[in-house]
Structure 1
Amino acid sequence: MSNEDITLTAGDAEVTLGPDNGGRVKGLRVGGTELLRQGERFGCFPMVPWCGRIRDGRFRDGATTHHMPLNAPPHAIHGTARDGAWRTARVTADEAVLTYDLVEPWPYPGRITQVVGLTPDSLTLTMSVETYESSFPAQIGWHPWFNRTLGESAVQLGFAPAWQEERGEDHLPTGKRIDPLPGPWDDCFGMPGGVDVTLTWPGVLELTVTSPEEWVVVYDEQEAAVCVEPQTGPPNGLNTLPRLVTPLEPLEATTTWRWSRP
């Protein structure tokens, strides 16, 4: 199928997907209001086959050390799939399936499938990483850029994490868990019962980001947008908390954004 932009609709909700631009959600409009920051690098992109930073771009798989390009020196950041063109496998009025085959610089063959499903009051993103050959460590996550303001209303974040990963000077977790600190954040938090973060634009809209996964990075240091990123492990997780993809066991994850208006 064509890799042209895809538009899904349900009720007064509309989603635009850009298969050619890293399989990202380019826009989410509810009642005509755009919730995501616009631009080539923004929207909401998939972080796969890893999330956040890999220290020095290096990760080990058994006795082998692999080197990823340092696209956020001195680290590698956010995976390789956001830089590639995805294939459109199936589209209906309110659902799309996109696929991406892993290529160099990632050292292992594999296929990523992302399913995007829209209802009048929710968007669900589901991703899997499969291999039919060598097993390898991987992570799955999403990196949405939500507009900080909608109209005149500035967003308020609400969440109750069990811990915060202490962040070192290199922006990576030190391995120590601390009590959550006040923002602004570029930090990873643990939510063992599942990710559950509410963004409220008072008087305009409330949106809740949920996921069965227990890790979320919150980034609100930019003026234009805030990011709430559910993921299957912490930054540098290919080294510290690897999740193995095998021919018998893919890695799968999902997140749902649900919204309501006053």
Structure 2
Amino acid sequence: MSNEDITLTAGDAEATVQPGNGGRIGGLRVGGVELLRQGERFGCFPMVPWCGRIRDGRFRDGATVHQMPLNNPPHAIHGTTRDGAWRTARVTANEAVITYDLVAPWPYPGRVTQVVGLTGDTLTLTMSVETYDSSFPAQIGWHPWFNRNLGQGGDDVRLDFSAAWQEERGDDHLPTGNRLDPKPGPWDDCFGMPGGVDVTLTWPGQLELKVASREEWVVVYDEQEAAVCVEPQTGPPNGLNTLPRLVTPLEPLEATTTWSWRSLGAV
């Protein structure tokens, strides 16, 4: 099948899936209101086979050191699949399955599958990385850009979450390995939630949206004026080096995030 944009609909919700643009969710509209920042590099893109920054673009697998392109000097950031074209495997009115075969500069063969499911009040994203050959370390995550303001004269979004810890951030923007009590924002920081990611975004009087995942890591980024990012992921930034999760022929890596929302507007 082609990699043209896919529109999913359920109730008054509509999601646009863009296989040809890095497998990202290009838009999510609820009651006609767009929740995601628009633009070729925004929406919600998959972070795979790693999340956030890799220190100096290098990670070790056994005795071998691999070098990734420094697309965020001096580091490599957010994986490789957001820069490629995914393929559409299957589409129904409210679900799309898209795939991406890992290629250079990633040094290992593998396949990423993303399932996008929409209901009237939820968007569920499930991603898996599998290999039929060499085992390798990997991470899975999502990088949504939620609009800070939904327009219509409403107030800016409010973020609410309770984390067990905050990863101390070094001058190089990478976790130092120290864990801190969570600090007030603004953030470009990784938090630990051992019970699973649970972050609530509230646009007062308009909409409440919860970002949830069984994974226990989330990066919150709200330093830009236009949007805020709540990024569930399977490990912290630089995790290929500090907390690797191994993909093997017998055991793929899989993760899911669900966004659920409810209207706060007058009935």
TM-score bracket, shorter-length normalisation: over 0.9
SS in 1 for 2:21: coil
Partner of 1:50: 50
Partner of 2:243: 241
2:227 to 222, 225, 249: 225
Partner of 1:127: 127
Partner of 1:165: 167
Q: 2:105, 2:3 → 1: CA distance?
A: 22
Give a deviation string over 1:114-159, Cα, whole Å, max 9, x none: 0000000000000000000000000000000000001222100000
Normalising by the residue count of structure 1, what TM-score does the alignment of the two structures yield? Answer: 1.00
- Confirm whether residue 154 of structure 1 aligns to residue 156 of structure 2: yes
Give a deviation string over 1:100-124, Cα, whole Å, max 9, x none: 0000000000000000000000000
1:2 CA displacement: 1.2
Q: 1:100, 1:79 → 2: CA distance?
A: 12
Give a deviation string over 1:207-236, Cα, whole Å, max 9, x none: 000000000000000000000000000000
SS in 2 for 1:150: coil
Q: 2:147, 2:3 → 1: CA distance?
A: 26
Q: 1:248, 1:19 → 2: CA distance?
A: 27
Alignment of 1:1-262 (within 5 A): 1-151=1-151, 152-262=154-264
Give a deviation string over 1:39-61, Cα, whole Å, max 9, x none: 00000000000000000000000
Q: Partner letter of residue 52 of structure 2?
A: G
Gaps of 5+ in 2: none
Q: Partner letter of residue 182 of structure 1?
A: P
Q: Partner letter of residue 24 of structure 1?
A: R
Q: 2:155, 2:32 → 1: CA distance?
A: 16
Give a deviation string over 1:62-99, Cα, whole Å, max 9, x none: 00000000000000000000000000000000000000
1:206 CA displacement: 0.2
Q: 1:120, 1:172 → 2: CA distance?
A: 38
Gaps of 5+ in 1: none
Q: 2:2, 2:245 → 1: CA distance?
A: 33
Q: 1:2, 1:238 → 2: CA distance?
A: 32
Q: Partner letter of residue 120 of structure 2?
A: P
Q: 2:189, 2:156 → 1: CA distance?
A: 21
Q: Partner letter of residue 48 of structure 1?
A: V
SS in 1 for 2:256: strand
Q: Partner letter of residue 241 of structure 2?
A: N
Q: 1:260, 1:153 → 2: CA distance?
A: 17
Q: 1:62, 1:4 → 2: CA distance?
A: 39
Residue identity (%):
85
Q: 1:2, 1:98 → 2: CA distance?
A: 10
SS in 1 for 2:208: strand
Q: 1:185, 1:260 → 2: CA distance?
A: 26
Q: 2:183, 2:238 → 1: CA distance?
A: 21
Following TM superposition, where does structure 1 have runs of at least 4 consecutive aligned residues deviating by more than 4 angstroms? Answer: none
Q: Partner letter of residue 39 of structure 1?
A: G
Normalising by the residue count of structure 2, what TM-score does the alignment of the two structures yield? Answer: 0.98
Q: CA RMSD in A?
A: 0.3
How many pairs are equivalent? Answer: 262
